[in-house]
Amino acid sequence: MIPAAFDYHRPSDMAGVLAVLKEHGDDARVLAGGHSLIPMMKLRMADVPHLIDLQDVDGLAGISISDGRVRIGAMTTQAEIIDDAALAAAAPIMREASLQIADPQVRYMGTVGGNVANGDPGNDMPGLMQCLDATFVLVGPDGEREVKARDFYEAAYMTAREDDEVLVAASFDAPSGGYAYEKQKRKIGDYATAAAAVLLTKDGGTCTSASIAMTNLSDTPIWSEAAGSALVGTSVDDAAINAAVDAMLGDIDPTQDNRGPIEFKRHAAAVILRRAIARAWDRA
């Protein structure tokens, strides 16, 4: 379908972006890579009278690592994440996850900011950012503020971002230990039926910390403190993994759709999570 008529704005700086947002309020939306918003506009699921393209705004792209802290600009593409050797060394789970997002054509345009900002429960980056305990940087008319990824998602397509704010970056401490991002999907390019991000550390044969998040199994990404706690202090044996899986199954709330019935999704979640924990433990 063809989207409804809209006015196109392409500011060259953040002041220009915020001015359009202030002038048009709820009638304005920002555009990053466009892979979520444009299809919704074409299907007439989103009515956007004023579209603000961020492509010309300086300072919104790029990856920096300083004193163990990673910062990724909102307009950084998935392809740039994959190709950044320093990021791959500091946070290899970012590259592993990005390689599983859609296909190369999408990854050359799809951005980190777009992936995390619109609150789509099927996107890969929100759960991963929760697993990493990332912080999102938002800019609005009152200046800059930070929101934890674990506090950002309120419901499907509803986040802590105000209508007059723009998400400009995500930052997190470079993780240590083992990692894994596992994803089950129907075909290349599809959203996950279930996906799991896992970070583990160990001392000798004992797990000392664990962070676990899953994607597309509720109306928000799910970071499960209970699932991580089930592994800490154990040798990550079958009993501990089963306890972690049971804890996660208690936290998710999948719904039936064209990816399968609820029981199938819960089964897929358990399989994917066990696989991710085992891979992360092997790498720890």
The highest-level CATH class for domain 179-283 is alpha beta
In SS3 terms, 213-264 reads as EEECCCCCCEECHHHHHCCCCCCCCHHHHHHHHHHHHHHCCCCCECCECHHH
Task: Assess whether pLDDT exceeds 80 at residue 66.
Answer: yes
Reported confidence tier of residue 39, pLDDT bands at 50, 70, 90:
confident
Reported confidence tier of residue 40, pLDDT bands at 50, 70, 90:
confident
List, for residues 164-184, the tens digit of each pLDDT value. 999 999 999 999 999 999 999
CATH topology of domain 7-53: 3.30.43
Q: What integer is the mean pLDDT of 49-57?
A: 95
Q: Cα–Cα distance between 128 and 123 in angstroms, integer?
A: 10
Structure-model confidence comparison of residues 90 and 35, the more confident one:
90
Task: Break the chain into its structural domains and give their ranges.
Answer: 7-53, 63-172, 179-283
- The dihedral region occupied by 28, where left means phi > 0, alpha psi between -120 and 50, and beta the remainder, is beta
Q: Cα–Cα distance between 264 and 15 in angstroms, integer?
A: 48
Give ∠ CA 154-160-166 in degrees, rounded to 5. Answer: 140
Residue with tokens 């392409």: 10
Reported confidence tier of residue 143, pLDDT bands at 50, 70, 90:
very high
Residue by residue, DSSP assigns 74-107 as TT-BHHHHHH-HHHHHH-HHHHHHHTTSS-HHHH
- The neighbouring-strand residues paired with 214 are 196, 222
Contact 31, 37 (CB under 8 A): yes
What average pLDDT is seen over the chain?
95
Residue 243 token pair: 């306890």
pTM: 0.95
Q: For the stretch 73-92, what's the b/e string if a residue is b when 16 or more beta carbons lie within 10 angstroms of its beta carbon?
A: bbbbbbbbbbebeebbebbb
Kindly report the CATH number that applies to the domain delimited by 63-172.
Answer: 3.30.465.10
> What's residue 82's pLDDT?
98
Task: Assess whether pLDDT exceeds 80 at residue 1.
Answer: no
Residue 121 phi, psi dihedral angles, 5° rounding: -65, -15
Task: Assess whether pLDDT exceeds 90 at residue 36.
Answer: no
Reported confidence tier of residue 256, pLDDT bands at 50, 70, 90:
very high
Q: Tell me the C-alpha to C-alpha distance, in Å, between residue 39 and each of 13, 44, 112.
A: 26, 9, 18
> What's residue 155's pLDDT?
97
Least confident of 43-52, 114-123, 173-182: 43-52
List, for residues 76-115, the tens digit of each pLDDT value. 999 999 999 999 999 999 999 999 998 888 899 999 999 9
